[in-house]
């Protein structure tokens, strides 16, 4: 079993929809959680970085962490065609330097 599980999709939604992306994890040592967006043949781009359980909002994006359930989510409001990309969850343990463990990524397609 992988340490981080993420549904690979693809997920297709109409423009303006609310998108929910999720990851589960098994390693209790993970304390920091990130969401990256990756366009085709590009490097991952950091979207959200969270530590505490609860919600963190940034514009149309909300990251949610539930450490008790080992479950994280990313919500995208008012989705746009430009949001079409692969969304990767990533997490790491404590310490000032630690490798990231990624999910497989969920491919999102926002249609007109």
Partner 1 sequence: DTGVSQDPRHKITKRGQNVTFRCDPISEHNRLYWYRQTLGQGPEFLTYFQNEAQLEKSRLLSNRFSAERPKGSFSTLEIQRTEQGDSAMYLCASSGAGTDTQYFGPGTRLTVL
In angstroms, what is the minimal distance from the CB of 15 to partner 1? 26
In angstroms, what is the minimal distance from the CB of 13 to partner 1? 20
Buried b (16+ CB within 10 A) or exposed e, 9-46: eeeebeeeeebebbbbbeeeebbbbbbbbeeeeeebee
Which residues of this chain interact with partner 1, rule CB under 8 A? 4, 6, 8, 32, 36, 41-46, 49, 88, 90, 92, 95-105
Nearest residue (CB) to partner 1, 59 versus 99 = 99
In angstroms, what is the minimal distance from the CB of 5 to partner 1? 11
Nearest residue (CB) to partner 1, 4 versus 110 = 4
In angstroms, what is the minimal distance from the CB of 53 to partner 1? 19
Taking alpha carbons only, the member of 71, 37, 36 closest to residue 54 is: 71
Taking alpha carbons only, the member of 58, 54, 43 closest to residue 88 is: 43
Nearest residue (CB) to partner 1, 18 versus 26 = 26
Are 93 and 30 contacting, i.e. CB atoms less than 8 angstroms apart?
Answer: yes
């Amino acid at each position: 079993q992988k340490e981080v599980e993420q549904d690979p999709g693809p997920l297709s939604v109409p423009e303006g929809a609310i998108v929910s992306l999720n990851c589960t994890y098994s390693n209790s040592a993970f304390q920091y959680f990130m969401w990256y967006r990756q366009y085709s043949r590009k490097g991952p781009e950091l979207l959200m970085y969270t530590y505490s359980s609860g919600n963190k909002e940034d514009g149309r994006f909300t990251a949610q962490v539930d450490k008790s359930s080992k479950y994280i989510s990313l919500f995208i409001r008012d989705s746009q065609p430009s949001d079409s990309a692969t969304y990767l969850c990533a997490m790491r343990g404590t310490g000032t330097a630690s490798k990231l463990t990624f999910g497989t990524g969920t491919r999102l397609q926002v249609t007109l």
